Amino acid sequence: MTTLVLHRGSLRANPYERWLADHGEKIVLLASAEQLALFGEELPTEAPYLHAEALTGYDTGPHVAERAAELVERFGVTDVVACQEFDIERAAALRERYGLPGQRPGSALVYRDKWRMKQAAVRARIPVADHALLRSADDLGAFADRHGLPLVVKPRRGALSVGVSVLRTAEELAGWLRTAEIAGPDGEPQWLAEVFVEGSMCHIDGTVLDGQIATLWPSQYQYALADYRDRKGRVDIALDTADPLARR
């Protein structure tokens, strides 16, 4: 059994050889050269790695998917692992092409395309902020006229909050339009506008032991997420047991 790992980030923080040790699998690694340089890391050379290489232009280049397919065929890959947002669709396409187990493009698209994601949520009657797909600059102005400021603009297929902006004034809106490419190279809309939702942001941390939830508790961020002008400490604090929001 051989696993192809599509990797972006730190190898020290992602010990695939330990994670896959119980399965006795050999590993083929395709990594981001930029990320390895950022973390000052080298490619692994010892077992269980059969092969490891790094490519430049990893986040956006079509050559990454092409090289991944070559590695699947060369090493007889039986599984594909992808832990980063940029790799979800790549991995799904490889699984479908080669009949490998795991997520396929139909569901992967909903995780990566925020427009499709919101449509799926609406169909499931899950409340989401009012939003619009921007097909032209006029669409953003019309959205602001309907909903007012501030509003949020975000890449349709972004990751890690890169490119997300909160437009609080007419001047910021006009400035954003001067620099944004509304359509991608294929002519498809690549930006969404959303109503800005006031309020605190919480998240849930938990652990699973033997397939069962062992711990589960919410914490509240103490800074504004996705707002890179906010220079407060990047901390969060667990909610008190008496806080009604904790139980909710």
Distances (CA, A) of 181 to 95, 137, 163, 177, 184: 32, 9, 12, 8, 7
Asked if residue 168 and residue 208 are part of one domain, the reply reads no
Domain stops at, among 86, 111, 136? 111
Asked if residue 235 and residue 146 are part of one domain, the reply reads no
161's CB contacts (< 8 A; 6+ apart) are: 225, 226
Asked if residue 149 and residue 182 are part of one domain, the reply reads yes
236's CB contacts (< 8 A; 6+ apart) are: 203, 219, 220, 221, 222
pLDDT for res 229: 60
Asked if residue 239 and residue 186 are part of one domain, the reply reads no
Asked if residue 208 and residue 191 are part of one domain, the reply reads no
Q: Does residue 232 sit within a domain?
A: yes
> Model confidence at 215, in pLDDT bands (50, 70, 90)?
very high
The rounded mean pLDDT for the chain is: 92
> Model confidence at 163, in pLDDT bands (50, 70, 90)?
confident
Q: Does residue 136 sit within a domain?
A: yes
> Model confidence at 232, in pLDDT bands (50, 70, 90)?
low
Asked if residue 134 and residue 52 are part of one domain, the reply reads no
Q: Does residue 117 sit within a domain?
A: no
Q: Does residue 158 sit within a domain?
A: yes
3-state secondary structure of 145: helix
Is the confidence at residue 127, as pLDDT, over 90? yes
Q: Does residue 135 sit within a domain?
A: yes
Is the confidence at residue 227, as pLDDT, over 70? no
> Model confidence at 184, in pLDDT bands (50, 70, 90)?
confident
CB-based burial label for 43 (10 Å; 0-12, 13-18, 19+):
middle
Q: How many CB atoms lie within 10 A of CB 230?
A: 10
pLDDT for res 162: 81
Number of residues that this document lists for the chain: 248
CATH number of the domain to which 186 belongs: 3.30.1490.20
Q: Does residue 23 sit within a domain?
A: yes
Please give the average per-residue pLDDT across 66-78, as a whole number: 97
Number of domains in the chain: 3
Please give the average per-residue pLDDT across 67-88, as a whole number: 95
Asked if residue 148 and residue 69 are part of one domain, the reply reads no
pLDDT for res 81: 96
Asked if residue 210 and residue 168 are part of one domain, the reply reads no
Asked if residue 231 and residue 141 are part of one domain, the reply reads no
> Model confidence at 46, in pLDDT bands (50, 70, 90)?
very high
Q: Does residue 176 sit within a domain?
A: yes
Asked if residue 107 and residue 6 are part of one domain, the reply reads yes
The whole domain housing 212 covers 202-247
Distances (CA, A) of 71 to 26, 45, 248: 13, 16, 47
Asked if residue 80 and residue 25 are part of one domain, the reply reads yes
Residue pair 15/22 in contact (Cβ under 8 Å)? The answer is no
- 3-44, pLDDT tens digit by residue? 999 999 999 999 999 999 988 889 999 999 999 999 999 999
Q: Does residue 119 sit within a domain?
A: no
3-state secondary structure of 116: helix
Asked if residue 23 and residue 104 are part of one domain, the reply reads yes
